[in-house]
Amino acid sequence: MAEIEVVAPNLKRRLSGVTATVVRLIPVQARMIGIVATGPGLPAELPHIPLARAATLPRDRWRVWHARRNTEMALGLILRHLLRRRYRLLFTSAAQRAHTGFTRWLIRRQDALIATSPQAASYLERPATVILHGVDTAIFQPAPRREALRRQLGLDPEAVLIGCFGRVRAQKGVDLLVEAALRTFPRHPRAQLIFTGRITPDNRAFADGLIARADAAGLGDRIRFLGEIPWEDVVRHYQTLDLFAAPARWEGFGLTPLEAMACGVPVVASRVGAYETLIRDGETGTLVARDDVEGLTAALDRWLSDDAGRAAAGLAARAHVVAHHAIEGEARAIVQVYRRLLDEGLR
């Protein structure tokens, strides 16, 4: 292992958007700087050290502690001020809302900040470097034989398939999408909708109610909730889609539209998070107002009615992500922040 210059903690065992960010970025950054992850629930192939080692690294040089959660910011402060480790503290924020008093207190004690969008930066009350997320376009790419992949995954090869991926909850606008599907699917007999993502116990009744609505409308076989699936299968499901939907009511950044577009899939999304920055309205998909089921219904109707238009938008979406949102650009920009912090530590 190369000399450790950066430690990226992940203090959450279950898969989340933050964990996915760590998993996808570190292999790319490891080609640029000596970086390791620490914490539970990470893939074995990821450069990694135990938390105990992160807490006892020698004091022979400055290193960067790159936190993305409150718990990780707090642990960084403990490591530096109580255990006297030589860590420069960096926090990345995706949140687009006012922070709590405790979070603001933690943020004030960081040496530098990154925001994943200009909107997120506006809530930090301190200068931040804005670095948009990117995706690995070698992993997220169109499937060469989509119909064959659908058969492997038990999906209808003849369907016009819409996907919505992420935890099933009201924040993600899942109920809005089901309502829009109930309105449009009778006019589009080939249309189908799949959701992937965890259903937590507190959202079980919410999901069951949506499933019951689809069943009552006679569309239970065309609106399906697949549950939480392995990450590599999530990628393969993106590759089966004709259209992706992200009708969230609020979002920190929102990476799923980029992942879908990298797979050559146009996107219908609400105007929240960074979606307005990522999606070219009318070219790579459609943007609708938040909580606007009428607008969402009209957007689905438009794309379901235009096979050629969907194909052209999918090509444009892939080209847009490759040109502007590849993960290598994100990784390089973050490494520049690391280098600056390390240089400052030497002064």
Residue 240: give its domain's CATH number. Answer: 3.40.50.2000
111 located within any domain: yes
Residue 100 is predicted with a pLDDT of: 93
- My answer on whether 203 and 278 are in the same domain is yes
Residue 46: C-alpha distances to residues 17, 27, 38, 125, 240 (Å):
17, 7, 10, 34, 27
- My answer on whether 313 and 194 are in the same domain is yes
- My answer on whether 244 and 126 are in the same domain is no
Q: How large is the average pLDDT for residues 136-152?
A: 94
Dihedral of alpha carbons 50, 55, 58, 61, sign: positive
- My answer on whether 173 and 273 are in the same domain is yes
181 located within any domain: yes
Residue 16 pLDDT exceeds 80: no
Name the residue range of residue 180's domain: 146-324
- My answer on whether 73 and 180 are in the same domain is no
Distance CA 334, CA 340 (A): 10
Distance CA 87, CA 76 (A): 7
- My answer on whether 312 and 244 are in the same domain is yes
17 located within any domain: yes
The tally of domains found in the chain comes to: 2
Residue 345 is predicted with a pLDDT of: 67
- My answer on whether 25 and 85 are in the same domain is yes
1 located within any domain: no
64 located within any domain: yes
- My answer on whether 97 and 154 are in the same domain is no
**Is residue 202 very low, low, confident or very high in pLDDT (cuts 50, 70, 90)?**
very high
Residue 147 is predicted with a pLDDT of: 94
Residue 1: C-alpha distances to residues 45, 65, 138, 181, 265 (Å):
12, 18, 25, 51, 38
What would the pLDDT profile of 229-274 be if each residue is shown by its tens digit? 887 899 999 999 999 999 999 887 788 999 999 999 999 999 987 8
- My answer on whether 126 and 195 are in the same domain is no
Strand partners, 129: 114
Question: Is 76 within 8 Å of 67 (Cβ atoms)?
Answer: yes
Share of the chain above pLDDT 90, in %: 83
140 located within any domain: no
139 located within any domain: no
282 located within any domain: yes
Q: How large is the average pLDDT for residues 124-130?
A: 94
Nearest alpha carbon to residue 49 among 2, 92, 85, 90: 2
Residue 1 is predicted with a pLDDT of: 57
- My answer on whether 269 and 338 are in the same domain is no
Question: Is 9 within 8 Å of 37 (Cβ atoms)?
Answer: yes
Distance CA 164, CA 234 (A): 11
Record the tokens describing residue 124, joined without a space.
Answer: 């930090």
Residue 15 is predicted with a pLDDT of: 60
Helix/strand number for the chain, H first, E second: 14, 12
- My answer on whether 202 and 313 are in the same domain is yes
**Is residue 321 very low, low, confident or very high in pLDDT (cuts 50, 70, 90)?**
very high
Average pLDDT, the chain: 93
- My answer on whether 67 and 181 are in the same domain is no
Residue 346 pLDDT exceeds 80: no
Residue 25 pLDDT exceeds 60: yes
Record the tokens describing residue 199, joined without a space.
Answer: 């259903």
